Structure 1
Amino acid sequence: MIRPFSRQEALARGVTPRRLRAQDLWTPTPGVRSVEVPLTLLERACAFAVAAPNDFAFARATAARLHGMPLPQCLEEDPSIHIVTRTADNRVRRGEVVGHRGLETRRVVEIAGLPVVSPADTWVDLGEYVGPGRPVGLDDIIAAGDAAANLERSVESLAVALRRRVRPRGKVTLDYALPQVRMGSRSAMETRSRLMVVRAGLPEPEMNLELYSPSGDWLGMGDLGWKEERVVGEYQGVEFHSRETDRRQNEVRRERIEEGDWRYLEIVSADVFEEMARAVKLREIAVTLGRSPHLLRLHEAGPQFFAPAKYERPRRRRS
């Protein structure tokens, strides 16, 4: 794609104002032209960057999407470009842009040449979307935290970013979520599967555990792995059930793992989100791990949107 360019840049190179008004050029944001329509978020961000202030970074949902952090569908489809500038600077006012302040309190990294708020600080910023009537829940925050920890290569980076803020929005949920964040998860559904298992009272699995046969042959990676029990749980998305070639590849992989002396458990979306299917799956996992299914906390194993009310700090009474 030919990069977007500013109107001033084009005029300086001898392009006439009439040519800049031609029908074959697009105006993705005021003062910017492009030969092609910016369709992806990255293309739209590149177009905005041409006309952006000197000191800014992409933030909030825009930063999370650029980092590849999982978000609820409504934020994945958010048409706005979110940016953050310094508190002392004027807020950017453009139709497609939502401006925020506080750049000086956030670490910035680079993606495709663009300034983007770091994964850890972006995770803290997602607290702004948490609360009654807002789109992000506890499990969404934990899933995004798992992805951010992978990008930062440490959970501690998230803790540092959270401690650095003074009363960030959603702090109660962020504080409650942080101890549940783990490295290794490759998708939001892997994270949700882990949370389901742990909340039911079963041993916590290792995420994306390397699997070896008794003779030392490498068999692959397991989404959720219990090394001592030699049990592996694999989350299977819709794509593994939609095409015959995908199903066959998965069957071959399962056969290889089971021949390597591992017991294989398949987890699908219904096992996480539907109460009856979840109970059946958790009992299967418990029996396979050698645990009593009668001790499962099935009522606690479902998805959670809010941090428990008992976790909220007591409010100070007025004298």
Structure 2
Amino acid sequence: MEEAWRFADLRASGLSKTQIRRRADGGRWIRPYHGVYLDAALRADELARLRALFLRLPSEAVICRQTAARLHGFGEFAPMSRTVHVLLPAGVHRPRLRGVTIHETATPLEPVTLNGIPSTSAARCAVDLARTSRRLDALPVLDGALRAGCNPDDLAMEAISHGGLRGIRQVRELLQFADAGAQCRQESQLRLVVIDGGLPRPQPQLPVVDGFGRLRYVLDLGWEERRVGAEYDGVSHLDRTRARRDRERHNWLAAQGWRMRYFTDLDLYRRPRHVVDVLRDTLTG
């Protein structure tokens, strides 16, 4: 059963303009894009809205960047964006649509299909995002792509094929630090602050076992030989139940000789030098 229709197709099926308008005004349909109607029950369904969008796009169009990252499963690692991102070959007509950002490419497109939606590959999506984002946002994208199952060799080859494009040098540099073990965007950013600060490269998601070899905790970042750990404290850590568990965890780790350091968004985004100084003192102390 169809979920979206072009206005022209509805008219061709025999519906009058009045009938179409009544169904929209009555709440049965919504109009996400000019000339396209969608079953109102699918209002919150991103995939349905994307399929509706393709009724207005040229046949060469593919989803890209943040939108493609969500389809590939690493959207939470990408910078925030409120628009749908679409990629078109150079020279193809670029329609102007509310809430849609059209990008143009001169490099060949080899799209994949995800849930019926043409998209850039995971590697192309990650490289495009990483080369056009600030450095602190670029590494999380590469981490997220690897975590979602993207092949490291595909990322490297994609970076090579983008030679000469703006930001590609950043991608090639950061690929050596990319790690599939990262659990969230801020963890990747904290790791990059540490690396850029000249400190030894930490291990993400470092497991800590007890005297019987049983896994007790997993640290965001850690230097096992020096028994130093670093973690990002987000909003969830303000919860009272979570705070109790965190205190118990901290006390156990301290009793085992681990020196833990915790950082917030203030540290990460406004005073990264403080993060580096604290960890350098801890690692050398």
TM-score for both structures, normalised by structure 2: 0.79
Q: Which amino acid aligns with 1:198?
A: I
Secondary structure, in 3 states, of the residue corresponding to 1:148?
helix
Aligned equivalent of 1:157: 154
Please identify, of 141-150 and 12-21, the stretch whose mean Cα deviation from structure 2 is larger. Answer: 12-21
Output the CA distance in 2 between the equivalents of 1:187 and 1:220: 17
| Offset, 1:194 | 1.1
Q: How many residues align?
A: 276
> Is 1:68 aligned with 2:75?
yes
Output the CA distance in 2 between the equivalents of 1:257 and 1:110: 46
Output the CA distance in 1 between the equivalents of 2:278 and 2:85: 44
Aligned equivalent of 1:3: 3
Aligned equivalent of 1:306: none
> Is 1:173 aligned with 2:157?
no
* Higher-strand-fraction structure: 2
Aligned equivalent of 1:269: 265
> Is 1:49 aligned with 2:54?
yes
Confirm or deny: 8 A CA contact 2:229 2:260 kept in the other structure. yes
Q: Which amino acid aligns with 2:269?
A: F
Secondary structure, in 3 states, of the residue corresponding to 1:21?
helix
Please identify, of 205-214 and 109-118, the stretch whose mean Cα deviation from structure 2 is larger. Answer: 109-118
Confirm or deny: 8 A CA contact 1:120 1:152 kept in the other structure. no
Output the CA distance in 1 between the equivalents of 2:260 and 2:131: 39
Aligned equivalent of 1:82: 85
Output the CA distance in 2 between the equivalents of 1:238 and 1:109: 36
Structure 2: where are the runs of 5+ without partners?
none
Cα pair distance change 1:30/1:237, threshold 3 Å: same
Secondary structure, in 3 states, of the residue corresponding to 1:126?
helix
Q: Which amino acid aligns with 2:262?
A: E
Aligned equivalent of 1:19: 19
Identity, % of aligned positions: 25
Confirm or deny: 8 A CA contact 1:232 1:265 kept in the other structure. yes
Q: CA RMSD in A?
A: 3.2
Aligned equivalent of 2:188: 191
Output the CA distance in 1 between the equivalents of 2:131 and 2:197: 29
Output the CA distance in 2 between the equivalents of 1:164 and 1:278: 35
Secondary structure, in 3 states, of the residue corresponding to 1:180?
coil
Q: Which amino acid aligns with 2:210?
A: S
Aligned equivalent of 1:223: 220
1:251-294, Cα deviation, whole Å (9 max, x unpaired): 3443454566644332222232343x843x444433443x15xx
Q: Which amino acid aligns with 2:116?
A: G
Cα pair distance change 1:288/1:166, threshold 3 Å: closer
Q: Which amino acid aligns with 1:4?
A: A
Secondary structure, in 3 states, of the residue corresponding to 1:27?
strand
TM-score for both structures, normalised by structure 1: 0.72
Confirm or deny: 8 A CA contact 1:212 1:260 kept in the other structure. no
Confirm or deny: 8 A CA contact 1:124 1:168 kept in the other structure. no
Aligned equivalent of 2:236: 239
Q: Which amino acid aligns with 1:124?
A: V
Output the CA distance in 1 between the equivalents of 2:122 and 2:60: 19
Confirm or deny: 8 A CA contact 1:222 1:232 kept in the other structure. yes
1:188-228, Cα deviation, whole Å (9 max, x unpaired): 21122112222333221111122222311112322102222
